[in-house]
Chain A
Amino acid sequence: MQVSLRWKIVGGFGLLLLLIGLLGWVTLILFGSVRGVQRQVFDDAVPGLMTVDEIVRAYTAQSAAVRGFLIGNQPRLLDQYHREVEVAADRQRTAERLFRSPRERDLLTSLERAGASFHRLVDRRVVPLAQRGRRNRAFEVLSREGSDRIVTIENLARRLRQAQVVAVRRAEDDLRSASSEAVVTLIAVLVAALVVGALLVFFLPRRLVRNLSRLVDAARAVGRGHLEQRLDIHSGDEVEELARRFTEMQEGLERLQRLAVQERELEIAASIQANLVRRIDPSLPGASVYPVQRQANRVGGDWYDVDVSGRRLTVVVGDASGKGIGAALMATVALSVLRAERSLGAPPERIVQRTNQALAIAGDAGSFATLIYATLDLDDGSVRWLNMGHPAPFLLRGPHDRPEGYFVHGPRNRALGWFEEPGFAETSVRLRPGDSLVLFTDGFIEARSADDEAFGEDRLAEAILQLAPLGPDVLGEELIALVESFAAGKLDDDLTLLVVRFEGVRSEAPPTVSPSHDLSAGL
């Protein structure tokens, strides 16, 4: 069940407040019981007992006064008798107010009747007999009949007193049982309050602190680079929510870590590829090679290679299908095999065939590479090449300020990696001093504008002729800038271009190969 931390605290303290309220209520009830018993004892029972004593005393005094009157014939004693009668009447009215139980009322009524009977005896017989001078007879009647009535009154009074004592004892019992019940309730409420209080004070913070400690530990582990530690908190409150978010953060960091590793691997791959591609050191006069490359990603499928052996310059430009690491691996395979075979002195056809076989084994179904393997004879300017499914090179010639040129299509062979026999038909042209052969990859002609229009061969030919007067050393860079601008920043293919300029047979100029003009970010 999902209960937020706020409601746990509010609920816990609410329950505690409820228990405190209950405690107060039980205490009030206990006080009420004590007050009830107190009222019963001090307001009813004690005054009742005193009133009964006073009634008895009043009747005893009445009897004594009448006897005194009979013995000494003193009229003031008769007046005292009448005063005591008033006192008894007054006390009896008090008693009627105090005694309310039926039994007490019965006893009181009997007592009042006995009193009235005593008064009738005194007023109607004893006093008239004495006034007529028959004191002895009056004394006799009083002693015989009056004493009986007084005794009756005393007996009834005793029974009334006993009734009061019973009532007081009952009140005491009630008080005792009420107070025991109250004490039990008090203890129960106190224990409950203690338990709730302990839960609040001990368990809630402990659980909270324990879960938070686990979060802190996990955060520390993340700080040390350990992302695998997972939190399993089911407190149903904000801490659980926090733990869930923390786990999501760990997963995000793991993804980032994996990406960082991939990035590092990509860097290594890029560095390997860069080292392979840049190894250019031709050292014969008669020609210059100006390579430029712009890669769409850290690694790519385009590559080129330049080599000089004797009076022969070899220039290879290639493009592996696909993009990224897969294409880069294909390119690396092709370049490695080419160089290995060439170092063994194999002829171009054999070198290309070996590359074809290596790519067929290395690539997955359908992947391929295209290339042009060109050889320039530095003595006579003749250049021959094998075009393996690659865009045709462009021959640039004519005066420096009014260049001419065309694509040399020639016979084409199949791309490498697909067929056992790709074909090895050769194309050859003879370069005149000052002529250049421009080799490039398909990124130039396939680049698309925002309107999905391809840059195309015609536009490329026109651009080469327009930019050629700037010189072979900047031609490649200018062409790349033009294609990038055409693609409006959305170029996602590699661009590689080499300008191979034949300087001439009698040229005394030292051999020149300009450094690679690499416009890509990482290479």
Chain B
Amino acid sequence: MAQEKVEIQITDAGAYRVLKPTGDLDVYTVGSLRDAIGRMIEEDTPHVVVDLDGVPFMDSSGLGALMGGVRRLREAGGDLAIACTREQHLKLFSITGFGEGVSISPTVEEAAAGFKA
């Protein structure tokens, strides 16, 4: 059963911020990620790297929230990139076509280098 909460650690890396969720990203917890991305837009720091190394499980809701984040941040003049080494997430990105058009790299720095705007 999915846990009810996900902890999201926010780090300021200068030109962008890093959101590092710890815990499952599913229908019960994606609200926290959506809220965190919303805060990035409000605080006018729309360049965000989401580090998925602390996320053992992600379902379609989590993927939907990431794509929602990509759209909102791009509308706000920024972008969302993903740092991920977990094979099952990478597979999910590949299956759904999420990875096409979004920077996905093994490290935060590499992901940030792929920002579109």
A-side interface residues toward B, CB under 8 Å? Answer: 301, 319-324, 364-368, 370, 388-391, 412-415, 418-419, 422-423, 442, 446, 448, 452, 454, 490, 492-493
Chain A residues in 8 Å Cβ range of B71: 365-366
Chain A residues in 8 Å Cβ range of B1: 490, 492
The 8 A CB mask of B30-66 against A (1 = contact, 0 = none) is: 0000000000000000000000000011011101111
B60–A319 CB distance below 8 A: yes
A396 to B59, CA, bound (A): 27
Chain B residues in 8 Å Cβ range of A448: 57
Chain A residues in 8 Å Cβ range of B100: 414
Give 16 new A-B contacts, CB below 8 A, not counting A367-B64, A415-B97, A442-B60.
A322-B64, A323-B27, A323-B61, A324-B27, A365-B68, A365-B71, A366-B71, A368-B63, A389-B97, A414-B97, A415-B98, A418-B67, A418-B97, A423-B97, A446-B59, A452-B57
With A323-B27, A365-B71, A366-B66: A422-B97 Cβ-Cβ less than 8 Å: yes
A366–B56 CB distance below 8 A: no
A390–B95 CB distance below 8 A: yes
| B9 contacts the other chain (CB 8 A) | no
**Within the complex, what minimum Cβ distance (angstroms) separates B39 from chain A?**
16
| B5 contacts the other chain (CB 8 A) | no
Chain A residues in 8 Å Cβ range of B68: 364-367
| B101 contacts the other chain (CB 8 A) | yes
Main secondary structure on chain B at its contact with chain A? helix
A493 to B63, CA, bound (A): 15
A320 to B64, CA, bound (A): 10
A414–B96 CB distance below 8 A: yes
B-side interface residues toward A, CB under 8 Å? Answer: 1-2, 27, 56-57, 59-61, 63-72, 88, 94-98, 100-101
A327 to B66, CA, bound (A): 17
With A323-B27, A490-B1: A370-B61 Cβ-Cβ less than 8 Å: no
User: Which one, A322, A422, A490, contacts B60 given CB within 8 A?
Assistant: A322
Chain A residues in 8 Å Cβ range of B2: 492
The 13 sampled A-B contact pairs (Cβ below 8 Å) are A321-B60, A322-B27, A323-B27, A323-B61, A365-B67, A389-B97, A412-B94, A418-B98, A419-B97, A422-B97, A446-B59, A492-B1, A492-B2
Chain B residues in 8 Å Cβ range of A320: 60
Chain B residues in 8 Å Cβ range of A365: 67-68, 71-72
B88–A454 CB distance below 8 A: yes
A446 to B70, CA, bound (A): 24
Q: Nearest 3 A-B pairs (CB), nearest first? A: A366-B68, A414-B97, A321-B60
Chain A residues in 8 Å Cβ range of B98: 389, 414-415, 418
B27–A419 CB distance below 8 A: no
B95–A391 CB distance below 8 A: yes
Chain B residues in 8 Å Cβ range of A388: 97
A411 to B100, CA, bound (A): 14
CB closest residue in chain B, given A368: B64
**Within the complex, what minimum Cβ distance (angstroms) separates B91 from chain A?**
9
A388 to B95, CA, bound (A): 8
Chain B residues in 8 Å Cβ range of A322: 27, 60-61, 64
Chain B residues in 8 Å Cβ range of A415: 96-98
A319 to B94, CA, bound (A): 16
CB closest residue in chain A, given B75: A365
With A365-B68, A389-B95, A418-B97: A452-B56 Cβ-Cβ less than 8 Å: yes
CB closest residue in chain B, given A319: B60
With A321-B61, A323-B61, A364-B68: A370-B96 Cβ-Cβ less than 8 Å: yes
Chain B residues in 8 Å Cβ range of A490: 1
CB closest residue in chain B, given A366: B68
CB closest residue in chain A, given B66: A366
**Within the complex, what minimum Cβ distance (angstroms) separates A297 from chain B?**
10
CB closest residue in chain B, given A369: B60
**Within the complex, what minimum Cβ distance (angstroms) separates B62 from chain A?**
9
